[in-house]
Amino acid sequence: MSGARTDIEAVEAANTALYEAVERGDMDALSQLWLEDGISVVHPGWPVLTGRGEVLRSYALIMANTDYIQFFLTDVEVSVVGDTALVSCTENILSGGPAEADGTAGPLVGGLVVATNVFRRTPDGEWRVWSHHGSPVLVENEDDEDGGSVDEGDVEL
């Protein structure tokens, strides 16, 4: 970690690194980015997975079933207090299906996911992932006449 960077820049870099590791399918890098203890992950539509074994296995499964994936992060908000950082962001995802029989690329699929990522700074100054929770955005009607940013008729808790 460069000493010239602010905490927020360092957290943003750690957050970006998490997605880049998934894009590259780099399990070694991903493993390094997560804390050792007390971690949890929720992938969109999945139950909670806890502990390094379950967390890393879930990423291995996703990578094994993903031929191509790219994340365009927007709305990145970082809140740092002491050695903990909370990041919320929107993942604009472009992913590719399996290649066609003739060897050409498979169809591309877009997706919209929102994520809450929690990081902790380790004693050596590195920001590591404590928790990742991603969920599909199912309801978004910002153009509603009533001015609401969500569909009031379809709320769930």
Spatial distance between the Cα atoms of 89 and 14, rounded to a whole number of angstroms: 13
Q: Give the separation between CA 2 and CA 151, rounded to whole angstroms.
A: 44
* Position 27 contacts its own copies (CB under 8 A): no
Say which DSSP state 39 is in. -
> In this structure, is the dihedral angle defined by the CA atoms of residues 95, 99, 100 and 102, taken in order, positive or negative?
positive
Instruction: Please report how close the Cβ of residue 3 comes to its own copies at its closest, in angstroms.
Output: 23
Alpha-carbon gap, residue 88 to 78, rounded angstroms? 7
8 binds its own copies (CB under 8 A): no
Residue 146 lies near its own copies (rule: CB under 8 A): no
Which residues inside 112-141 make contact with its own copies, applying CB under 8 A? Answer: 113-114, 116, 118, 120, 130-131, 133-140
**Taking the alpha carbons of 61, 44, 10, 76 in that order, is the dihedral positive or negative?**
positive
Asked if residue 70 binds its own copies (CB under 8 A), the reply is no
Which residue in the set 48, 94, 99, 108 belongs to the binding site for its own copies (CB under 8 A)?
48
Between residues 1 and 73, which has the closer beta carbon with respect to its own copies?
73
* Shortest distance, position 59 Cβ to its own copies, whole Å: 9
Half-sphere exposure (CA, 13 Å, Cβ side) for 66? 18
- Choose the stretch contacting its own copies; rule: CB under 8 A; options: 3-11, 25-33, 75-83, 100-108: 75-83
Q: In angstroms, rounded to a whole number, what is the distance separating the alpha carbons of residues 110 and 10? A: 29
Q: In the complex, what is the shortest distance from the CB of residue 139 to its own copies, in angstroms, rounded to a whole number?
A: 5
Phi and psi at 12, nearest 5°, equal -60, -40
Dist CA 155 CA 157 (whole Å): 7
- By the criterion CB under 8 A, which residues form the site for its own copies? 22, 37-38, 40, 42-50, 54, 58, 61-62, 64-66, 69, 71, 75, 77, 79, 81-84, 86, 88-91, 93, 95, 111, 113-114, 116, 118, 120, 130-131, 133-140, 148-150, 152-157
